[in-house]
Structure 1
Amino acid sequence: MRVLRVEGGQVRSGGEELAGPGAPVWIDLAPTAENMAFLAARFRFHPLALEDAAHEDQRVKLEQYTDNLFTVVHRISPAPDDSELLTHEVDAFLTAEALVTVHAARIAEVDRVFERCATEPELLARGVDFALYLVHDAITDAHFTLVDALTADVEELAESVLAERRDESDQELLDRILTARRQHVLLRKRFAPQREVFAALARPGQALVRDQTAIYFRDVVDHAVRLTEEIDTGRDLLASAMDAYLSSTNNRLSSVMTRLTLISTIFLPLNFIGTFFGMNLDILPPRLAVPLVLLSMVVMPVAMYGVFRRKRWL
């Protein structure tokens, strides 16, 4: 647990001893049993909200209570080996004088905003709702790098699908497309409701978010909308890439089957000649039989190949 408290134009930092009433405070803590008990005793938050904050499996949401509101947003980041996307939950309680942020993992954006507020007293002096805006804005903006990287990967996938020669096999390319689709589905699932949460905080006339702060939340809404639109664009590109991949695969399969069919067609009359004259070679004069059969077996496939080339079947 770490606490910031603004009094007399100065910021004091410390532990729970600074969490008393009478001044704006920001409490940042992990969802341990001891910390949850402290919040229940100090702020008397609703037990259901405390239960949600204690377990990192909540959907994105905003819940309004009598004297506080509770928000859940997600910070999505790639795994260290880029094999998957990891979701970290950031819960926040907002009262008239206190902001309480709860998260199990270290969130770099929360740390940076906390350090800013510790060194710039005017930030917390503008209200704890403004500190909540700073947290949500930092978390939202951090996703632009992730979404831009995914968009670049989708564009590279589309180019690979359309390329005549590929550096990777069809199975590897298909695995990359399916992985990118799963990532975009996850991002869309997380960001769409977060946009609604920020929109609710941006509405004027709320008791705990002042109108001058609600204006700043509109900027967060705008960033969330841009992220969602870019994700939707990436999903459309992935759908087009998948269609192009399937079409390319089907075209190559049809081309291979066409060639195999033509080869079989060429050898079919040769098989007929070989079997027919193998049983009936004595019907021809001995000096004529063998040369005629050999000549037929040479001329016929050459002639058929010429016909197929003229008709552009090969």
Structure 2
Amino acid sequence: MAKNRTSKYNKKIGLSPGSVIYTGDKETQNLSIESFDYNSESVDEKTHGQIEDVFHFKTTKSVSWVNINGLNHVDAIEKIGAHYNLHPLTLEDIVNTSHRPKLDDYDNYVFVVLKMLYYDKDEQVITEQVSFILGESYVLSFQEAEGDVFNTVRERIRYAKGRIRTLGPDYLLYALIDAVTDHYFIVIETLSNKIEDLEDNLFNGFSQEEISQQIQNLKREVLKVRRAIFPLREIISKIEKNENNFIKDKTIHYFRDIYDHVVQISENIEIYREMIWGLMDMYMTTISNKMNEVVKVLTIISTIFIPLTFMAGIYGMNFDNIPELHYKYAYFVLWGIMIILFLSMLYYFKKKKWF
């Protein structure tokens, strides 16, 4: 039975460019805002109930990270966009949760869209869009719901681990993108384990219908991961060109490290994609072999019974002058010949290793 599917784009059809329309499915998500304002000496971490509470971070001399959860609150997104002078197309892309990862340069900020990937407790891959705005002294991040992969970044800011508190907002953007990229490794490792388990199940003769469903699910997962990760190479390439003043030259080296990771992940994804196609071919070969075994057994049975049926057909004809018809032991002789013929054919097939 076909599934009833609804398009995410119905809400945007016919509207002018720059219309801020939330296209996700988390319509009841609460608005959650957290901020980190820090320098090399101190850090101020807060949670906020109103979007207006984070307006002042635009002009602070320290580095500020404002994380906003709840893209369904379009009014709040428009307010912060107006205060931070964000382009309407940027706001449109922030709330468009199916947007392709990308990087856009504007006069007063850099806009980055990524896909955050992680597995839930049922080992189902979850894709969530996260958007970043890099300004002179701040980074704004927008997420669809609470829960992310940035806890390590928060810990580094709180306890001054590494160099994050001594560098600018461009390094903070690098740290956030790097956290997203690091979780890609966890995702592809889980994919690798799933493929290995599927190989074992295929060789151990699990239910054919179950194996087929697992292969289809893995194909969908790999395609979802591939769509999320591959555009990141283009994003990092744009950053390396350094066509804006927001990312310093000394931070470019760190982004190159992300590029190396993305190349490695992309290569692994292509390998896993080929492995899944190989599993599909193996699955089809297994089914074909089993069908061949069945056909071979039926063919042997048919071949054995053809001469027996021929003999039974001759002596089953209604003629009076069949020579052996009135012989006293004709019935037993016929049975003996048929049994000897049956055993002889079995011996011949066995000697030829046909079964």
Say whether the fold is shared (TM-score over 0.5): yes
Mapped partners of 1:281, 1:248: distance in 2: 51
- Following superposition, which runs of at least 4 residues in structure 1 exceed 6 angstroms of deviation? none
1:289 pairs, out of 318, 330, 351, with 330
Counterpart code for 2:122:
D
Residues 158, 238 of structure 1: 8 Å contact kept: no
Amino acid in the other structure paired with 1:29: I
Report if the CA contact (8 A) 1:199-1:217 is conserved: no
Q: Give, in whole Å, the separation in 2 of the partners of 1:260 and 1:286.
A: 35
- Aligned pairs for 1:1-314 within 5 A: 1-6=33-38, 9-14=41-46, 15-16=53-54, 18-23=56-61, 24-30=63-69, 31=71, 32-82=73-123, 84-120=124-160, 123-161=164-202, 163=203, 165-166=204-205, 168-204=206-242, 206-279=244-317, 282=320, 283=322, 284=324, 285-314=326-355
The secondary structure found in structure 1 opposite 2:107 is coil
Unaligned 5+ segments in structure 1 are: none
The alpha carbon displacement at 1:156 in A equals 2.9
State the number of aligned residues: 310
Which AA in structure 1 matches 2:44? Answer: R
Cα drift, residue 47 of structure 1: 0.6
Classify 1:202/1:124 alpha carbon distance in 2 versus 1 (closer, same or farther; 3 Å). Answer: farther
Q: Deviations over 1:24-54 (max 9, x none)?
A: 3221112323431332232110011012112
Contact 2:40 / 2:166 at 8 angstroms: preserved in 1?
no
How many Å apart are 1:181 and its aligned residue? Answer: 1.6
C-alpha deviations, 1:156-180, integer Å up to 9, x for none?
Answer: 323443x3x43x2122112212211
Between the aligned partners of 2:253 and 2:103, the Cα distance in structure 1 is: 18
Provide Cα deviations, 1:116-167, integer angstroms capped at 9, x if missing partner: 3244296244111110100000111012122112112212323443x3x43x
Cα distance in 2 for residues equivalent to 1:287 and 1:7? 115
1:151–1:234 Cα contact (<8 Å) kept: yes
Between the aligned partners of 2:85 and 2:291, the Cα distance in structure 1 is: 67
Q: State the secondary structure of the residue aligned to 1:278.
A: coil
Per the TM alignment, residue 6 of structure 1 is displaced from its structure 2 partner at its CA by: 3.3
Closer/same/farther in 2, CA of residues 5 and 193 from structure 1, 3 Å limit: same
For 1:108 and 1:178, the matched residues in 2 are separated by: 28
Query: How big is the shift at 1:296?
Result: 2.2
Letter in 1 for 2:64: V
Deviation larger for 96-105 or 288-297? 288-297
Mean alpha-carbon deviation: is it higher for 26-35 or for 140-149? 26-35
| Root-mean-square deviation (Å) | 2.1
Counterpart secondary structure, 2:230: helix
Letter in 2 for 1:142: H
Distance in structure 2 (CA, Å) of the matches to 1:207 and 1:286 = 112
| Residue 253 (structure 1) shift | 1.2
214-223 or 192-201: bigger deviation: 192-201
Report the Cα distance in structure 2 between the residues aligned to 1:123 and 1:132, rounded to whole angstroms: 10
Q: Contact 1:28 / 1:102 at 8 angstroms: preserved in 2?
A: yes
Percent identity reads 26
User: TM-score normalized by structure 1?
Assistant: 0.91
Counterpart Cα distance in 1 of 2:92 and 2:166: 30
Contact persistence 2:105–2:244 (CA under 8 A)? no
More helix by share: 1
Alignment partner of 1:109: what SS? coil
Comparing 275-284 and 216-225, the one that deviates more: 275-284
